[in-house]
Every structure is written in C-alpha cells, then in structure tokens.
C-alpha cells in the first residue's frame, strides 16, 4: 500500500497521540533560543524544558518539526539522504517514560505502523550503553549481531557545544539483509540508511565540557520524514519521493530536461534546486529576509545556489518563483501558513534572483575581457586565479567559466582553480567536526562549503562581509 509523505506524517503523530502524547504544531525555523541560528532538530523548541527552565503543560509531546541544517549543505544532491530543509518527526518525554519505553515504541512504530520487516532493521547503541544493548536484545529480540556499538561521534547526541545531550540509539533500514551480519558497516549507504534516532537526554554539557545529570531523564527522538518516505515508497533517494520530486520536475520542465534520462551532474543540480527551493520557501514563510547577516545571509546564499544551478542546467531567465509555486503547493496541507505568505515569498525571490543575475552579468563582462586579453596574447588557458575570482566574487561556478571558455576554444586551469580554493579554505577554516549549531558555527560551515571570501568571517562581524 502506497504511503504519501503526508500519510507518513499523520501516522507517526497519530501513533504517539494514541499513547497520550500531545500533538504540537511545528515551531518556526527561527528558534526562540538566541544562540542558535535555525531550528536544527525537533528538540530545539523544548530545550528550556529539558534544562528545567520551563515547566511543560504536558509530560509527552509529538511533533513534525521543520528543520534546516546548513552543515549538511555539501551533501545535498550528493548523498541519497541529506537535505538542508527537512521535517523531523519526534516523540518527546519530559521526565516521564525513558529508555525502555522509547525503544519499545520506536520498534513498534517502525515494524507495525510502517510495516518494516524486522529482518531489514539494524540498530546502533552508544558503546558504553549496555542497558540499551540489553533492551534491544532481551526485550525487543534483535539478533545481537545486528545491534552495533558505536562511539560518541555517532551515538552521543549533542544539541550544540553546550546544552542538553545524552547517549542515543538509532534505527537503520537495511536494503540488503542477504549480505549477512558479518562486518556490518553502518556508513555503507549502498546498504543502510539511518532513519530514527532515540536520544536518552539526561545530561547538560557546560562550557568547560563537564556533563552534569539533568533533573529529569527525558526522551528526544527524530525520524526523518523524507527518509521514511524513501524507504516506504521504494525510490532510490529522498529526492524522488512525493515530498520533493514535483519541485524537481518543475525545474526540469523549465530547463527542457527529462530527469529520468539526465546525466548525474544534471541530476545533482536538479536535486540542489529541489532541496534549496523548499528551504527558502519555508524560511521566507517564517519571515526571514535575505540580507548580509545571520540567517538572512543563509537565505541569500541558498537562493543564489538555486540560480547558479539553474544556469548550469541551461535555464537563462528568471525561474525561481515558478519553482517556488510548486513548493508552496506541496506544503499546503501540512503548513497552510506558507500559502498565506505566497506574495512575500515570490517578491523576495524575484528581487534576489534579478539582483544576482545582474551580478552574474557583471561577471560575464569581466570574463569577456579576460578572454579578449588572453586571445591578444595568444594564450589558451584561463588562469586558476581568474577563474577563482569569477567564482568567488561573481558567483560563477567553475563549470560555467569552463563552458564559456570552451565556446572560445580556451580551457581553464582547473588545478590552479582548486589550488586557490584550497588556499582560501585553509585561511578560513576552523575545525568543526561535530555539528556546531551556534550562530557563527553554522555560518562558518556554510562559508567553507559555498563561497568563502564573501565571508570575511571569523574576526569581523558578518555584517561587514562583502557579498557582491
């Protein structure tokens, strides 16, 4: 039986509602917590409750929370499972039920409500969490070879550098159980996909990295709606689910491309457009405006990436409002507020897009001059430095420069370009190994992954960063 993304959302919320969880609406993408740039998980609106700073009116809640994770931006369109914008389904206990109950219900909803065959499931636990291991083995009945102990990187969840945290246990879908239980590698995404994380939220991490037990033992969980849809709809990746594919189809139609026969590179661009358009539509719906600072800056970068990828697949005019229309239509049943913001969304996109197209136009002029100079000197190769400058200052993807170069029987020094890029990154990089969800952390990560000198960055406030 086919389950749409919307069916999956409803089934999740209904299951937990039947277990006395209050269904709460998604909070805004703009968190109340001033230290966090965007809502990155379903738990964020409940952070004050976990910390004991606010008393909840209920002991159990369930939500479908809009999330944005800029730290996953380079995975967008590349992996089968990562987005910037996604919905996280969650069930929460505020000092009420704990580990045993959360695991039992997590298994029940996966196998009974969604009907996933137990032999297709694998679970992970934090390596020191013998209790969780025993619950999976003895109470749920999972074969011990399919309970994988993992280190803190994967199985100790932090809501940020400081704040509520705890060991977690994740449920993975195994596309190929016939490959056997020897050497199970959960990182192998041709075989496994993580879809549900159960966090045993019981500590607070302070600035000195000390863990102190919270007054209550809490449960915080997250199931990726798009991932569950991928599994249940039996499509090759999240992007081909009914939650996103219509957006991709709209963009492909505008470009005159047939997705099913498109090459890999084109598919990646279409996926980036599919992902980012959803993100920007919801961001603007939540009253974020494009700017040179903070979350407004992220919005601007995402819109520009949409435009750039549009150019890469051969769209020359303005197209973002048309694609946004599809994303707005898709959001209507679950997020009626988005349609109400339709005019604002389209106006913002239109303004940003035309402004950016102008910037690109200036880049084109610069490139024309570079080409003319080169021809005069009988050169054949556009230098890496020039190509990087076009990329960095004028938003020209390398591919675009290469394309125009080829039209003029020239090539681009790609190695030189990559060298400049690396140098740039080296200058700007800070180690962000864990998900750093602080305001500056998210911006730094985004800076690393898209376009670096726009972000003067680490010492100067972003407000002064050069953008054009």
Residue 69 interacts with which of ligand ATP, Mg ion, none, CB < 5 to 8 Å by class = ligand ATP
CA separation (Å) from 155 to 166, 169, 193, 240, 270?
Answer: 9, 6, 15, 29, 32
Report whether 75 contacts 140 (CB < 8 A).
Answer: no
- Closest contact distance (angstroms) between CB of 74 and Mg ion is 12
Q: Give residue number: closest CB to ligand ATP.
A: 224
CA 289 – CA 69 distance, rounded (Å): 18
- Closest contact distance (angstroms) between CB of 299 and ligand ATP is 17
**How many Å from the N-terminal Cα to the C-terminal Cα in the chain?**
50
CB closer to ligand ATP out of 92 and 396: 92
Tell which one of 106, 160, 164, 222 touches ligand ATP (CB under 6 A). 222
Q: Does 197 bind Mg ion (CB under 5 A)?
A: yes
- Closest contact distance (angstroms) between CB of 154 and Mg ion is 5
Q: Does 227 bind ligand ATP (CB under 6 A)?
A: yes
Residue 92 interacts with which of ligand ATP, Mg ion, none, CB < 5 to 8 Å by class = none
Please identify which residue in the block is written with the tokens 């929460």.
92
What character string, x for contact with Mg ion (CB under 5 A) and - otherwise, covers 287-326?
----------------------------------------
Report whether 95 contacts 223 (CB < 8 A).
Answer: no
Report whether 199 contacts 182 (CB < 8 A).
Answer: no
Which of 46-63 are b and which e, b meaning 16 or more Cβ less than 10 Å from the residue's Cβ?
bbebbeeeeebeebbbbb
Tell which one of 37, 72, 356, 400 touches ligand ATP (CB under 6 A). 72
Q: Does 73 bind ligand ATP (CB under 6 A)?
A: no
What character string, x for contact with Mg ion (CB under 5 A) and - otherwise, covers 177-196?
-----------------x--
Residue 136 interacts with which of ligand ATP, Mg ion, none, CB < 5 to 8 Å by class = none
CB closer to ligand ATP out of 154 and 253: 154
CB closer to ligand ATP out of 227 and 308: 227
Q: Does 223 bind ligand ATP (CB under 6 A)?
A: yes
CA separation (Å) from 149 to 130, 138, 184, 219?
Answer: 9, 16, 11, 20
Tell which one of 129, 174, 220, 226 touches ligand ATP (CB under 6 A). 226
Q: Does 82 bind ligand ATP (CB under 6 A)?
A: yes
* 3-state secondary structure string across 358-400: HHHHHHHHHHHHHHHHHHHCCCCEECHHHHHHHHHHHCCCHHH
Report whether 198 contacts 169 (CB < 8 A).
Answer: yes
Residue 82 interacts with which of ligand ATP, Mg ion, none, CB < 5 to 8 Å by class = ligand ATP
CA 432 – CA 447 distance, rounded (Å): 12
Q: Which stretch binds ligand ATP (CB under 6 A): 194-202, 326-334, 337-345, 359-367?
A: 194-202
- Find the helix or strand (DSSP H, E) in which 223 lies: strand 211-224
Q: Which stretch binds ligand ATP (CB under 6 A): 11-19, 75-83, 98-106, 410-418?
A: 75-83
- Find the helix or strand (DSSP H, E) in which 398 lies: helix 398-407
Cα 195 from chain centroid (whole Å): 14
CB closer to Mg ion out of 229 and 371: 229
Tell which one of 80, 83, 282, 308 touches ligand ATP (CB under 6 A). 83
CB closer to Mg ion out of 194 and 436: 194
Q: Does 86 bind ligand ATP (CB under 6 A)?
A: yes
Residue 186, token pair as written in the block: 């959960």
Residue 333, token pair as written in the block: 């049943």
Please identify which residue in the block is written with the tokens 């967008």.
76
Pairing label, strands 85-93, 211-224:
antiparallel
Q: Does 224 bind ligand ATP (CB under 6 A)?
A: yes
Residue 424, token pair as written in the block: 């740039």
Q: Which stretch binds ligand ATP (CB under 6 A): 29-37, 83-91, 92-100, 279-287?
A: 83-91
* 3-state secondary structure string across 58-100: CCEEEEEEEEECHHHHHHCCCCCCCCCEEEEEEEEECCCCCHH
CB closer to ligand ATP out of 103 and 404: 103
Which positions touch ligand ATP (CB under 6 A)? 69, 72, 81-83, 86, 88, 194-197, 222-224, 226-227
Which residues in this chain contact Mg ion in the complex, by CB under 5 A? 194, 197
């Amino acid at each position: 039986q086919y389950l749409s993304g919307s069916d999956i959302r409803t089934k999740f919320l209904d299951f937990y509602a039947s277990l006395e969880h209050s269904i709460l609406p998604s909070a805004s993408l703009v968190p109340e917590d001033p230290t966090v740039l965007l809502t990155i998980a379903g738990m964020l609106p409940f952070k004050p409750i976990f910390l004991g700073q606010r008393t909840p009116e209920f002991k159990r809640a369930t939500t479908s929370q809009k999330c944005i994770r800029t730290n996953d931006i380079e995975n967008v369109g590349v992996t089968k499972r990562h987005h910037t914008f996604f919905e996280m389904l969650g069930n929460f206990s505020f000092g009420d039920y704990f580990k045993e109950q959360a695991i039992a219900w997590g298994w029940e909803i996966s196998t009974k409500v969604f009907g996933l065959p137990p032999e297709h499931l694998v679970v992970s636990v934090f390596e020191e969490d013998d209790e969780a291991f025993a619950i999976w083995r003895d109470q749920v009945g999972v074969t011990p070879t399919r309970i994988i102990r993992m280190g803190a990187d994967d199985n100790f969840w932090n809501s940020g550098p400081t704040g509520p945290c705890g060991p977690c246990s994740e449920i993975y879908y195994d596309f190929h159980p016939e490959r056997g239980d020897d050497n199970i590698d959960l990182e192998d995404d041709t075989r496994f996909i993580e879809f549900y994380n159960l966090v045993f939220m019981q500590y607070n991490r302070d600035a000195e990295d000390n863990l102190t037990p919270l007054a209550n033992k809490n449960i915080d969980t997250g199931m990726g709606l798009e991932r569950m849809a991928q599994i249940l709809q039996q499509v090759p990746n999240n992007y081909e689910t009914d939650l996103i594919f219509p957006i991709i189809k709209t963009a492909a139609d505008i470009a005159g491309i047939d997705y099913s026969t498109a090459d890999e590179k084109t598919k990646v661009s279409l996926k980036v457009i599919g992902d980012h358009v959803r993100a920007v539509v919801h961001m603007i719906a939540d009253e974020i405006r494009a700017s040179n600072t903070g979350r407004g800056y992220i919005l601007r970068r995402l819109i520009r990436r949409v435009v750039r990828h549009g150019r890469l697949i051969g769209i020359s005019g303005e197209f973002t409002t048309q694609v946004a229309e599809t994303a707005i239509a898709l959001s209507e049943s679950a997020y009626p507020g988005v349609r109400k913001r339709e005019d604002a969304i389209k106006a913002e996109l239109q303004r940003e897009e035309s402004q950016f197209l102008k910037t690109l136009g200036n880049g084109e002029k610069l490139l024309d001059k570079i080409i003319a100079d080169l021809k005069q000197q009988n050169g054949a190769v556009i230098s890496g430095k020039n190509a990087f400058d076009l990329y960095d200052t004028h938003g020209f993807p390398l591919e675009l420069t290469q394309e125009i170069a080829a039209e003029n029987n020239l090539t681009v020094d790609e190695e030189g370009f990559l060298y400049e890029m690396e140098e740039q990154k080296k200058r700007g990089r800070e180690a962000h190994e864990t998900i750093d969800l602080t305001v500056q952390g998210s911006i730094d990560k985004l800076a690393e992954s898209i376009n670096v000198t726009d972000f003067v960055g680490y010492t100067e406030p972003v407000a002064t960063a050069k953008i054009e």
